[in-house]
Every structure is written in C-alpha cells, then in structure tokens.
Amino acid sequence: LTSHPLQVALYFCTGILKDETLFRHYALNVPFYTHFTSPIRRYADVIVHRLLSASLGASSPIKMEKEAIQRQADHCNDRKMASKRVQELSADLFFAIFVRVSA
C-alpha cells in the first residue's frame, strides 16, 4: 500500500472537462499541469507534444476534435493500466514460483 501512489495519473483532454480544478497537480500545488516524456516512448507523449506545440503557436493546430482526443486519452489510460496490472501479476507469479521452489 505504501509503495503505490495515492492517485494514478490519467491522460485527459482539457476541452472535455469543465472543472479547471481537475487540471491541478496536488503534490506540486500548481493549478495547471501537463506531463510528457520523450515522444519516441509513448503515443500519448506524441499527442501531448503536438498539442503543446500547436497551443504555443510553434506548429499548425492538430486536426482532431476534442472528443477524438479524449478517446485517444482513454485508450492510452486503459493500455497503461492493463500494462501495470500485468507487470504486478507477473511479479506476483514469479514470487510465488520462487517461494514454492525454495520451500
């Protein structure tokens, strides 16, 4: 329990949410927050890079409706959660095998 974060980060399209208080980062205590890593790692990061670039005027606007962006965010969230769950189950399986072989 103590090794897991209190709240899982989720991707979402800001144009879908009406409550701007949901944009804040609780631990950092900032009202607006976005996170991304290198765009070669995950598709979600590619989308974030493109949206940030367009919002800063460095590139042309992305040709996706906000509902389509939210569907992509939901899909990325689903895949991220599934991957995390498989990783946890795999660790549990290998621990069980280790305990069984050691007994």
36: Cβ contacts below 8 Å, ≥ 6 apart: 44, 45, 48, 49, 52
pTM value is: 0.73
Question: 16-66, pLDDT tens digit by residue?
Answer: 888 888 788 878 888 888 877 777 778 888 888 898 999 999 999 988 999
CB of 69 closer than 8 Å to CB of 15: yes
Residue 12's pLDDT band (cuts 50, 70, 90): confident
Domain boundaries, the chain: 20-102
CB of 81 closer than 8 Å to CB of 8: yes
